[in-house]
Amino acid sequence: MLERRLIEVEGTVQGVGFRPYVHRLAAARNLRGFVRNDAGRVMIDIEGELATVDAFCRDLTLAPPPLSAISLVHVKRAVPMRRRAFQILPSGTNVGESAAAAVPPDVATCDACVSELFDVHNRRFGHAFISCTDCGPRFTAIREVPYDRERTNMAPFAPCTVCRAEYETSSDRRFHAEAIACPRCGPVLVARRVNDDNVQAIGAAAITLAAATLRRGGIVALKALGGFHLACSALDAFAIARLRERKHRPAKPLAVMVRDVAAATALCDVSVVEQSALTASARPVLLLRARDSAAVAALVAPHTATLGLMLPSTPLHHLLLAAFNGPLVMTSGNRSDEPVAITDADAHSMLEDVADVFLTHDRAIVARCDDSIVRVIAGEPRVLRRARGYVPNIIALPFHAAATVLAVGGHLKNTICVAHGRCAHLSAHVGDLGSLAALRAMRVAVASTIHLVGARPRVIAHDLHPDYASTRFAESFATDEGTTHRVPVQHHHAHIAACVAEHGVREAVIGVVFDGAGLGTDGAIWGGEFLVVEGAHFTRCGHLAYVPLPGGDAAARHPWRSAAAHVARADVSGTSAASARPASVDEREWQLVQQLVQRHQRTPHTSSVGRLFDAVASLLNLCHVSHFEGEAAMALEAAAGTRVALGYPISLSADHCFTANAARVIAGVLDDMERGRDITDIAAAFHTTLRDLIVLAAERIREASGISIVALSGGVFANARLTATTNAALLTRHFRVLIPQQVPCNDGGLSLGQAFVAACALQEPLCA
């Protein structure tokens, strides 16, 4: 009996070798019909004997390609057409609702391609653009769905006859590999020495020229997947110092690329979980504990105990690492914190006086996408910067958004998010909105995400802070669009909402938010918050007691100011208070800050735990001036190591909205310093204090509300020690603990939280 079925498969099913997989399944059973990509899905039309068709349908979801993720299979019976063969047909073009969900993230070069790359007998030996159905650029290469070559950055390259034959051979590894190419027909690698336009090398010679430059201590700008990288030897202190000076990046840690896991293990301790995060197809920068014996120059990551390592993600990186034969600093191709360059023209104008050699090619980068950063915290890999390899994976919402929502995030570590249906589309890391270039990049992220989703937003969510560039963008967007409805979302509410959205939780949770700064509903700068969050609503149950902090933003860059403020506030007297001033800080400046605090003059009040970290780091002489966000906190975490110590006394006031006063903590730290207690012990005791505070506050809120789910978020929880010990302490007290995993705990997650809050608010009239 002849049976015909029409099957729709949704999810991440394009650009992942799904059609060839279906073709193989059908051909093996002698079934007829076709498979093709449609806007957001794969359509299969299949016919044959009933039992065989049944078997096909059963097996379809059993062993799909490793990079695919099937979210829905819809099957319909139809009248048999008596077809004679099974074919892969050209894509359909109707744009479906889930079109955006069909684009997969970029995938690091697979093992099979790497072995061909280094096989002298293979026709793709040394080909810097080798890829297959299992690997290669996707998000950074696809202009439009459905995923076909003509809608990618490979459109200008016509495959040669050999590549064409591979593409059409069902038994070939590159059967229907859209980006198929070889040295004869693919993009061409070019290296050019700056200040000497005559020296130019092509293909293998380009790699040789770049590697020679690196060996001589030079800097190479190379065109990677989602933007340019800047590379130099990680063993050459002189080269690194030059890179830091030219890039205007004096202290922020630099990532290092190593060839394989063995090379990573030579530099850092790598656990089993960390090894799988390091080798995952996203190839993030993984923050690892550096070995004392690590051979990389101290300038790579000064004042931290961690080192950010990544493995090669593209054939170009593989070739360069092999030719150089050692660890390479591999950092974003930008100046300071501006967006990474993606075109050759941008790279040349931005990096002309940074790089000695440009290693580039004629394949365009369609979407900007930085390296992602991951750290294993409390036993799980957690994304701290979400970009290459993770974007544009969707985050499933626990309900259907009643209207399309655009959320524009915060000011630092900006991302944007579009919530549509049950999907949240979180953009790649845009960066700090302090430059025009960053603002332009944010606008591009907004436009391209809306384009991919295929729906205009009707609601726009943003932070409460009126001066954030993102807030101003939201206002102008709403004006331009006419009817768009604006939803301001409090910063810390958004932090917890992002965590809750990611975990698909709909119940009320206790939200603990520790971060640097966010505007509160009372006009103060919040950052040590204990909330109850339920969808569109939150209640502030308690917070770290306010400390007047003179200087506002200047305080964040000068941890000694936080120290002066906290010491003045703690009202400690005697020699310990007098000796608190660091030698590098002018006595008059120090006293001025303290006087302002005591007189409450022109000083914003803050409950920020980030600033408390700054104060303690400065009191311990670890960091008085901060060159990048979180520097002091990282130094304090590094100082504590794994030492075990009892915490300083801390208690909660009896108020309805309770406060926790850090005065006794500061007094304890000063006492310990005077007594000459080991810095490691003091840093460890400080971490224990914060853990104890969270447990105390969570118990208090549970008693009053009956809520026993705790969500931890805010940038402070990038601190692995604090997060792991707090998680363990809460678990032993039978709390359920939610910690961000796929979405950054820092301000990179705000836009998802804002979108979630706005989507929850839209639901309310329906519930009432």
By CB under 5 A, name the binding residues for Zn ion.
Answer: 110, 113, 132, 134-135, 160, 163, 182, 184-185, 515, 518, 747
Other Cβ atoms less than 10 A from the Cβ of 82: the count is 9
Smallest gap from Cβ 708 to Zn ion, in A, equals: 25
Smallest gap from Cβ 337 to Zn ion, in A, equals: 17
3-state secondary structure 12-62: ECCCCCHHHHHHHHHHHCCCEEEEEECCCEEEEEEEEEHHHHHHHHHHHCC
Q: Are strands 537-544 and 709-713 parallel, antiparallel or unpaired?
A: unpaired
C-alpha 613/C-alpha 611 separation (Å) is: 5
Nearer to Zn ion, 274 or 515 (CB): 515
Other Cβ atoms less than 10 A from the Cβ of 112: the count is 13
Three-state DSSP class for 155? coil
Q: What contacts 150, CB < 8 A, 6 or more positions away?
A: none
Nearer to Zn ion, 182 or 270 (CB): 182
Smallest gap from Cβ 137 to Zn ion, in A, equals: 11
C-alpha 12/C-alpha 101 separation (Å) is: 6
Smallest gap from Cβ 141 to Zn ion, in A, equals: 14
Smallest gap from Cβ 617 to Zn ion, in A, equals: 19
Q: Give the closest residue to 443 by CA, choosing from 498, 368, 517.
A: 368
DSSP string for 559-608: HHHHHHHHHHHHT--SHHHHTTS-TTS-HHHHHHHHHHHHHT-S--EE--
C-alpha 501/C-alpha 461 separation (Å) is: 15
Smallest gap from Cβ 571 to Zn ion, in A, equals: 29
Smallest gap from Cβ 415 to Zn ion, in A, equals: 12
- E-state strands within 169-284: 189-193, 200-202, 220-223, 228-233, 256-257, 268-269
Nearer to Zn ion, 132 or 296 (CB): 132
Nearer to Zn ion, 115 or 601 (CB): 115
C-alpha 79/C-alpha 118 separation (Å) is: 51
Smallest gap from Cβ 111 to Zn ion, in A, equals: 8
Q: Give the closest residue to 698 by CA, choosing from 649, 745, 737.
A: 737
Is there a contact between 393 and 101 (Cβ–Cβ < 8 Å)? no
Nearer to Zn ion, 95 or 185 (CB): 185
Q: Give the closest residue to 384 by CA, choosing from 299, 445, 306.
A: 306
Nearer to Zn ion, 381 or 753 (CB): 753
The structure tokens listed for 430 are 């845009």
Is there a contact between 191 and 200 (Cβ–Cβ < 8 Å)? yes
Nearer to Zn ion, 135 or 698 (CB): 135
Nearer to Zn ion, 189 or 585 (CB): 189
Smallest gap from Cβ 107 to Zn ion, in A, equals: 8
Q: How many helices (DSSP H) and strands (DSSP E) are in the chain?
A: 23, 29
Nearer to Zn ion, 135 or 623 (CB): 135
- Residue 90 DSSP code: P
Smallest gap from Cβ 369 to Zn ion, in A, equals: 19
The structure tokens listed for 461 are 């969510």
Alpha helices by DSSP H, 418-518: 436-453, 469-481, 491-502
Nearer to Zn ion, 716 or 737 (CB): 716
Residue 483 burial (10 A CB sphere; 0-12, 13-18, 19+): exposed
Residue 215 burial (10 A CB sphere; 0-12, 13-18, 19+): middle
Is there a contact between 719 and 693 (Cβ–Cβ < 8 Å)? no
Q: Give the closest residue to 332 by CA, choosing from 386, 255, 384.
A: 255
C-alpha 222/C-alpha 360 separation (Å) is: 6
Nearer to Zn ion, 182 or 556 (CB): 182
Nearer to Zn ion, 493 or 561 (CB): 493
Is there a contact between 31 and 46 (Cβ–Cβ < 8 Å)? yes
Nearer to Zn ion, 464 or 625 (CB): 464
C-alpha 748/C-alpha 69 separation (Å) is: 25
Smallest gap from Cβ 470 to Zn ion, in A, equals: 13
Smallest gap from Cβ 184 to Zn ion, in A, equals: 5
Nearer to Zn ion, 91 or 713 (CB): 713
154 backbone dihedrals φ, ψ, rounded to 5°: -95, 0
Smallest gap from Cβ 753 to Zn ion, in A, equals: 10
C-alpha 33/C-alpha 290 separation (Å) is: 56
The structure tokens listed for 97 are 């609702």
Alpha-carbon distances, residue 46 vs 31, 64, 158, 284 (angstroms) = 7, 17, 31, 40
Smallest gap from Cβ 284 to Zn ion, in A, equals: 19
Q: What contacts 158, CB < 8 A, 6 or more positions away?
A: 185
Smallest gap from Cβ 590 to Zn ion, in A, equals: 28
The structure tokens listed for 441 are 């990049």
Residue 74 burial (10 A CB sphere; 0-12, 13-18, 19+): exposed
Smallest gap from Cβ 747 to Zn ion, in A, equals: 5
Nearer to Zn ion, 65 or 582 (CB): 65
Nearer to Zn ion, 101 or 633 (CB): 633
Three-state DSSP class for 375? strand
The structure tokens listed for 768 are 């009432």
Nearer to Zn ion, 156 or 641 (CB): 156
Smallest gap from Cβ 275 to Zn ion, in A, equals: 21
Nearer to Zn ion, 14 or 98 (CB): 14
Smallest gap from Cβ 230 to Zn ion, in A, equals: 26
